[in-house]
Amino acid sequence: MTRYCLTVTCPSTRGIVAAISAFLADRGCNITDSSQFDDMETGNFFMRVSCTSETGTDLATLQAEFAGIAERFGMAFAFHDEAWKMKVVIMVSRFGHCLNDLLYRWRIGALPIDIVAVISNHMDYQKVVVNHDIPFHCIRVTKENKPRAEAQIMAVVEETGAELIVLARYMQILSDEMCRKMSGRIINIHHSFLPSFKGANPYKQAFERGVKLIGATAHYVTAELDEGPIIEQDIVRITHAQSAEDYVSLGRDTEAQVLARAIHAHAHHRSFLNGNKTVVFPASPGSYSSERMG
């Protein structure tokens, strides 16, 4: 049986869940997992429903026939085939821990993504990327060529049909235009527990302040540097005896895990933009399973 996922955002009102449930049941779909959130502050309603099609109703039919309910409730909605792997472009500079982690997770099927290209402003990771049979693009960026470089990046995105850009420690600031064009479709990993210790060397700042917890933050990219809606965060405990270099080493593992979890949430359509924040629903049963163990 085919598994589908329905995502819904709309103003909160009575009868939404009943209408969705009745619609799916009438078309031979059995709900296997469901999450919802009613934001009392904004008046927005969010829902994600996983279901199986037991009578062969296809995606196009569900999408078309749901339009009436969507219009009635003012919904933004989409049906997704859960077998589909989201096309992703990864961008990286000279820190490779997140890239290598994502390549491993992709190789064993732990993330529902298809890495269609890796873009870097350096050549450091060309060999490892090409060895995974993934196209590698070195696009160098300077103050003088930045508009042209971003046009090249967007050409790769459009040619590959990428639905998501992942900044896996890509150390270049994207233009406001690119951030707006790809709104909600660029995820960055920041090597700090935002909103504290922003900028180029947050671990040094944390070391100088004697913090006892360091962390990492994955967020959607906006024109405001490191201010985008947060998807995932985590921390690691440290002590007074550890050096600034220790902070960096300990932080790497946290960064890789946080970024992978954020991509998992986005690719499974569990992450919803909610103004300056996000709504991130729990993972469906079985969604963390891998195609192979090694």
Catalytic choice (58, 133, 226, 234): 226
pLDDT at residue 213 in the model:
83
Bridge partner list, 165:
89, 186
SS3 label, residue 166:
strand
Pairwise CA distance, residues 45 & 249, whole Å: 40
Q: Please say whether the beta carbons of 149 and 140 come within 8 A.
A: yes
Bridge partner list, 9:
46, 76
Pairwise CA distance, residues 146 & 124, whole Å: 20
* Chain segment 154-186, per-residue pLDDT in tens: 999 999 999 999 999 999 999 999 999 999 999
* Chain segment 134-150, per-residue pLDDT in tens: 999 999 999 899 999 99
pLDDT at residue 89 in the model:
98
pLDDT at residue 195 in the model:
62
Q: Which CATH superfamily is domain 87-280 in?
A: Formyl transferase, N-terminal domain (3.40.50.170)
Q: Please say whether the beta carbons of 191 and 215 come within 8 A.
A: no
Pairwise CA distance, residues 219 & 171, whole Å: 15
pLDDT at residue 150 in the model:
96
pLDDT at residue 18 in the model:
98
Query: Is residue 226 among the annotated active site residues?
Result: yes
Pairwise CA distance, residues 278 & 141, whole Å: 31
Contacts for 227 with CB less than 8 Å, ≥ 6 apart: 195, 276
**Which stretches of the chain score pLDDT less than 70?**
194-195, 197-198, 293-294
Q: Say if residue 217 is exposed, middle or buried (CB neighbours under 10 Å; 0-12, 13-18, 19+).
A: buried
Straight-line distance from the first to the last Cα atom of the chain, in angstroms, rounded to the nearest whole number = 28
Give me the residue label for tokens 């906006």. 222
User: Domain 2-81 belongs to what topology?
Assistant: Alpha-Beta Plaits (3.30.70)
- In the structure encoding, which two tokens stand for residue 204, read together? 């040094």
- In the structure encoding, which two tokens stand for residue 282, read together? 């729990």
Same fold? 2-81, 87-280:
no
The ranges assigned to domains in the chain are 2-81, 87-280
